[in-house]
A and B are shown apart, each in its own frame.
Chain A
Amino acid sequence: ETGVTQTPRHLVMGMTNKKSLKCEQHLGHNAMYWYKQSAKKPLELMFVYSLEERVENNSVPSRFSPECPNSSHLFLHLHTLQPEDSALYLCASSQGGRGYSGNTIYFGEGSWLTVV
């Protein structure tokens, strides 16, 4: 148990569906992340929120829409996805320190998404 909980663990959706992935961290961290993990590719950073403000959007298609209502919760809203979006979506959190690298980033167990 890493303190980062993701739901659902598995999701199958059609290309016209709208669904959401949820992440909750119980670590008191102030930064949260969405990563995408697919076969034969490195882990890809999608979005970063620090103190509930989005600080990174790594050229992610608009069919992925993040939401961070507070420092403990992070959502990834999905709509009109493509089959190539099928992947493991990982949420993570960290306790950010200004100008300092090295705080551990804690990952959840991920949500397996299959787009049919």
Chain B
Amino acid sequence: QQQVKQSPQSLIVQKGGISIINCAYENTAFDYFPWYQQFPGKGPALLIAIRPDVSEKKEGRFTISFNKSAKQFSLHIMDSQPGDSATYFCAAETPYSGAGSYQLTFGKGTKLSVIP
């Protein structure tokens, strides 16, 4: 059972446009929601993250919107650039009780292409 659903699977945006990627989750035990960016040949890298007690977090051109009641969150990339072309993964995290480590449940990813 997939616990984090991500859409769309792929996205093409013109340079300067807004890219929007959506995710929905089911498990209310999730308490941290990071987004990862992955370029070809590289591992995923943390882009931006949010906790469920805030509705929005902005870092530069990247914004996460979070709707706790709907169990949905989204990534907005403003003024999208060709260098933003990558695969983006949303994730949801729960702590392991007493173990000091974390479990990330990932969405399937969105391949973003920003065309000049």
Contacts of A45 in B (CB 8 A): 103-105
Q: Indicate if A59 sits at the interface (CB-CB under 8 A).
A: no
Q: Is A61's CB within 8 Å of the partner chain B?
A: no
Write out the residue numbers on chain B whose beta carbons fall within 8 Å of the beta carbon of A33.
Answer: 101
Question: Cβ of B114 < 8 Å from any Cβ of A?
Answer: no
Question: Which chain A residues (7-49) contact chain B, with CB distance < 8 Å?
Answer: 30-31, 33, 40-43, 45, 48-49
Report whether B94 and A50 are in contact in the complex, using a CB–CB cutoff of 8 Å: no
Residue of B with least CB distance to A102:
B32
Query: Which residues on B are within 8 Å of A, measured CB to CB?
Result: 2, 4, 31-32, 34, 36, 41-46, 49, 51, 89, 93-109
Given contacts A30-B100, A45-B104, A101-B94, 9 further A-B contacts (CB under 8 A): A42-B109, A48-B103, A50-B96, A50-B99, A56-B103, A94-B101, A99-B97, A107-B45, A109-B42
Could you list which residues of chain A lie within 8 angstroms of chain B, going by C-beta atoms? 2, 4, 30-31, 33, 40-43, 45, 48-51, 55-56, 90, 92, 94, 96-110
